[in-house]
Structure 1
Amino acid sequence: MHDIRMIRDNPAAFDAALSRRGDAALSSEILAIDTARREKIQAAENAQADANKAAKEVGAAKGRGDEDEFQRLRALVSEKKADIARLNDEAKTEDQRLTDLLATIPNLPYDDVPDGADENDNVEVKTWGSVPDMSFAKEHFEIPAAMPGLDFATAGKTSGSRFVNMKGAVARVHRALGQFMIDVHVEENGLEEISTPVLVRDEAMYGTDKLPKFSEDSYQTTNGWWLISTSEITLTYSVAGDVLEASDLPRRMTAHTLCFRSEAGSAGRDTSGMLRQHQFEKVEMVTICHPDTSDDEQKRMLRCAEDILERLEVPYRTVLLCTGDMGFGARRTYDIEAWLPGQNAYREISSVSTTGDFQARRMNARFKPEGGGKPEFVHTLNGSGLAVGRALIAVLENGQQEDGSINLPTALHPYLRGKTSISADGTLV
């Protein structure tokens, strides 16, 4: 949510920032609604003052025996009360119009975010690892060692397309990946592990900018709850309505949850394999922090996510997203893209974003400054650390051998009781 005072004070700068995202200027429309709202509020206050004055004079007129003046003042009080009720209702209508409009406007990019239209204008800031020369490389669902463990047919029979039953060695490696990620984040990166619900109310979706923008990409149950697309929602909304002590910041959290996306806007994309599923698992990182430290926190979170891939021995690149490719709630986003030999391409496996106070305003999450004064909005950040299914794809494809087997990264061996590979027939050995 945007600060209306900022828009009043800097309408041209607000429109210029929206233009960088490819959006039309909106300050005039916003300020027209804001002006109408404030005029209604002021008119109601004036009517209240008139009503109060007339009410005091009613008794005096009655005491003088001035019946005509008494009746006139009584009528005036009634008229003003009716005006006050009408003006307050009109002000509430304008306020809701303003809130509804602001809720649809994306966050403003930081100055260091590159301008651009789409992913082709993203800026590569880092590469790690050597892209292997694998002329025999297959996609994950074609590798002999992985094929017995990826049952799309049975999942399709029970649930439809974009679901998978993982079995045997593949299921075990997938489980090991999630456990490995959580252990690193908790034991080494200092994040607090939280097991959260996967069903949330409208308020949580709205407060974390998923409504109204992403309603079509989300699943809603018949009783009104929403299935989360990421535990960013539950972790971030955990501080909604709170006024935190500055000494309690930063608050760093992580969760490993099921996630659900309808993928309404991606028809026909990545329909083969398990790259784009309706149900998947993700290890999420969320930080609630002081505004002065949010840039450093983003760098820290980015490094946490990159380190997971390095330990998994997966080559990757990190890109700074341009204005046209950045998510609705973000002010700056780094994507980490894992190398997938089967596609001969880098594919996104993590996004690490800072939203500034955009989400905090929507959910009224604040902190008390150490020096005293009025509570201020916190900053919120989120990042995948990592998407477990996509990490599985990267591990399977980068570990594949010409004989159809798969060598597994050393970091997972303790989670697999010393097993180091999947044989060509799908056995963990």
Structure 2
Amino acid sequence: MHDIRQIRENPAAFDAALARRGLPPASPELLALDADRRAKILAAETATADQNRASKEVGAAKARGDDAEFERLRALVAEKKAEISRLTAEAAEEDARLRDLLMRLPNLPLDEVPDGADEDDNVEIRRWGTPRSFDFKPLEHFEIPGVKPGMDFETAAKLSGARFVVLKGAVIRVHRALAQFMLDTHIEDHDLQETWTPVLVKDEAMYGTNQLPKFAEDSYQTTNGWWLIPTAEVTLTNSVAGDILDEARLPIRMTAHTQCFRSEAGSAGKDTTGMLRQHQFEKVEMVTICTPDTALAEHDRMTRCAEAILEKLGIPYRTIVLCTGDMGFGAQKTHDLEAWLPGQNRFREISSVSTCGTFQARRMNARFRPAGGKPDFVATLNGSGLAVGRCLIAVLENGQQADGSVDLPTVLHPYLGGKTRISASGELI
């Protein structure tokens, strides 16, 4: 969320930053509402002072036997009381409207973020690995003979409808191994703290990480008001909501493996085949809580943590910085990692790593106390490390063989009891 005081101080800069995201100026409406709200607060304070002064004078008039003055003052006290009540209610209503407007505005991009309208304007930073040359036409993951027995879309559709899958046999073993490998790498090599969190959260948590109010249709809500998390970013980031942390505790670097749920609103017709875009999926998430002045360094660090997973798996990838028009709502700057999928003959997103500055911290009221200083808002960062299902797709497609079997990355062999391949008939061997 934005600081209205900063908008007051430099409305032109605020609107210019919104324009980079393709949005119209917002400061005129915000500042008009803010000015009216502040005027009502000031009027209520003035009326309160008048009421207090009249209340003191009522007793004096009574003691003097001045009945006319006594009645006038008593009426004035009642009038001011009603005025204060009205002004306070109106100010509270306008404060709620202002907060709602601020909640619906996206974060402002950093100056270094490239301008652009959509994904076509994203900028590639680097590439790693060389896509494998096949002496046969590579298949998409769900077409590979050895994968088909373990990837059941028909049963999932019978149970739940479209955009679900039932995994079994060798395929689910590899899926589970990937999640375990990611967690172990982040814990042992990257010094992240493993955390297990609920997947059901209250409204406040969804507001804190900017899923609400603007993106309610993208998530699932239960009949008793809980929300199913779209990513562990929600729970990990909100773990410090309302806290004042000692600066010495920062940075806090966490990772969690959870089920994730997304309605995929607005994605009709996109990636309808296979398991690239699902309503229910698993991710190993990374979240960092730090001081604002270290956020960019932490952003680069988190990006390297995600890249390291792909490198250990031997999956070619490229890292891009998203332009202003393709960046997520809460981000100041985002790096996307795109894995090479030979079945599609293209790179596809497998991780997004974003720094949000103090944007989410203001929504959560999450602060830190510098040594000898006053509390200030923390910075928050989040990133996939990685999306397990998409990583499974990359492993299967890049490891596929002409006979329909799949060679598996060496780093996964210890997690699979020493097994190294999925046979053409779907057995782990």
The alpha-carbon deviation at position 65 of structure 1 amounts to: 1.1
1:137 alignment partner AA: P
SS for the counterpart of 2:361 is: helix
Report the TM-score, using the length of structure 1 for normalisation. Answer: 0.99
Q: Which residue number corresponds to residue 82 of structure 2? A: 82
Report the 3-state secondary structure (helix = DSSP H, G, I; strand = E; otherwise coil) of the residue aligned with 2:352.
Answer: strand
What is aligned with 2:401? 401
Query: Residue 132 of structure 1: CA displacement?
Result: 1.5
Q: Distance in 1 between matches of 2:50 and 2:199?
A: 53
Partner of 2:204: 203
Q: Which runs of 5+ in 1 are unaligned?
A: none
The amino acid that maps onto 1:366 is: R
Tell me, what secondary structure is at the counterpart of 2:49?
helix
Measure, in 2, the Cα distance between the counterparts of 1:373 and 1:388.
42
1:64 shift after superposition = 1.4
Give the aligned partner of residue 168 of structure 2. Answer: 167
Note the C-alpha offset of 1:373: 2.6
**What is the aligned partner in structure 2 of residue 253 from structure 1?**
254
In the aligned structure 2, how far is the partner of 1:204 from the partner of 1:97? 20
Alignment of 1:286-365 (within 5 A): 286-365=287-366
Look up the equivalent residue of 2:206 and give its one-letter code: M
Instruction: Give the partner amino acid of 1:56.
Output: K
Kindly indicate whether residue 419 of structure 2 is the aligned counterpart of residue 422 of structure 1. no
User: 1:95 & 1:222 partners in 2: Cα distance?
Assistant: 29
Query: Is the partner of 2:254 in helix, strand or coil?
Result: strand
- State the 1:59 CA deviation: 1.4
Q: Which residue does 1:132 correspond to in 2? A: 132
Matches within 5 A, 1:141-220: 141-220=142-221
Give TM-score scaled by structure 2 length: 0.99
Provide the C-alpha distance between the structure 2 equivalents of 1:45 and 1:109, rounded to a whole number of angstroms.
38
In the alignment, the residues of structure 2 paired with residue 305 and residue 207 of structure 1 have an alpha-carbon distance, to the nearest angstrom, of 24
- What is the CA–CA distance in structure 1 between the aligned matches of 2:200 and 2:104, rounded to whole Å? 23
Name the amino acid aligned to 2:239.
Answer: S
Mapped partners of 1:347, 1:212: distance in 2: 29
> How far, CA to CA, are the matches of 1:266 and 1:215 in structure 2?
15
Q: Distance in 2 between matches of 1:72 and 1:126?
A: 79
Residue 421 of structure 2 aligns to which amino acid in structure 1?
S
Residue 269 (structure 1) aligns with: 270
Give the stretch that moved more between structures: 273-282 or 47-56.
47-56
- Give 2:338's aligned amino acid: E
Cα shift at 1:123: 0.2
CA RMSD after TM alignment: 0.6
Aligned: 1:284 with 2:285? yes
- The CA deviation at 1:56 is 1.3
Match in the other structure for 1:231:
232
Partner AA of 2:73 in structure 1: L
Q: Which residue of 2 aligns with 1:68?
A: 68
Query: Aligned pair count?
Result: 428
- Deviation per residue, 1:193-220 (Å, 9 max, x gap): 1111000000000011010122111011
Matched, 1:386 2:422: no
Instruction: String of CA shifts for 1:347-392, please: whole Å, max 9, x gaps.
Output: 000000000000000010000011x232000000000000000000
Gaps of 5+ in 2: none
Q: In 2, distance between residues paired with 1:265 and 1:235?
A: 26
| Larger deviation, residues 50-59 vs 317-326 | 50-59
Tell me, yes or no, if structure 1 residue 412 matches structure 2 residue 421.
no
**Per-residue CA distance 1:37-84 (angstroms, 9 max, x = gap):** 000000000001111111111111112111101110111011101101
Which whole-Å CA distance do the structure 1 matches of 2:238 and 2:100 have between them?
20
Q: Deviations over 1:102-133 (max 9, x none)?
A: 01000000000000000000000010000122
2:52 is aligned with what amino acid?
N
Task: Look up the equivalent residue of 1:35 and give its one-letter code.
Answer: A
Select between 213-222 and 316-325 the one with higher mean Cα deviation.
213-222
Amino acid at match of 2:424: A
Whichever residue aligns with residue 290 of structure 2, its letter is: C
- The offset of 1:338, in angstroms, is 0.2
Q: Secondary structure at the match of 2:363?
A: helix
Q: Give the distance between the partners of 1:152 and 1:56, measured in 2 at CA.
A: 78
Distance in 2 separating the partners of 1:65 and 1:258: 76
* Counterpart position of 1:15: 15
Task: Work out the CA distance in 1 between the residues paired with 2:221 and 2:57.
Answer: 58
* 2:343 aligned partner, one-letter code: G
Q: Which residue in the other structure is 1:33 paired with?
A: 33
How do 1:97-112 and structure 2 match up within 5 A? 97-112=97-112
Whichever residue aligns with residue 159 of structure 2, its letter is: T
One-letter amino acid matched to 1:97: R
Question: Could you tell me which amino acid in structure 1 is paired with residue 54 of structure 2?
Answer: A
Q: SS state of the match for residue 329, structure 2? A: coil
Give me the whole-angstrom Cα distance separating, in 2, the residues matched to 1:262 and 1:60.
68
Q: Distance in 1 between matches of 2:157 and 2:237?
A: 33
**Cα displacement string for residues 13-48 of structure 1 (whole angstroms, at most 9, x for unaligned residues):** 000000000001000000000000000000000001
Aligned partners of 2:306, 2:117: CA distance in 1, in Å?
A: 26
Shift of 1:316: 0.1
Query: Which 4+ runs in 1 deviate beyond 4 A?
Result: none
Q: Which residue type is aligned with residue 3 of structure 1?
A: D
**In 1, Cα distance between equivalents of 2:277 and 2:103:** 28
**Residue 292 of structure 1: how far off its partner (Å):** 1.2
Q: CA–CA distance in 1 between the matches of 2:230 and 2:116?
A: 27
SS in 1 for 2:386: strand
Code of the residue aligned with 1:308 in structure 2: it is I
Letter in structure 1 aligned against 2:370: P
Percent identity at matched positions? 71
* Counterpart Cα distance in 1 of 2:72 and 2:164: 74
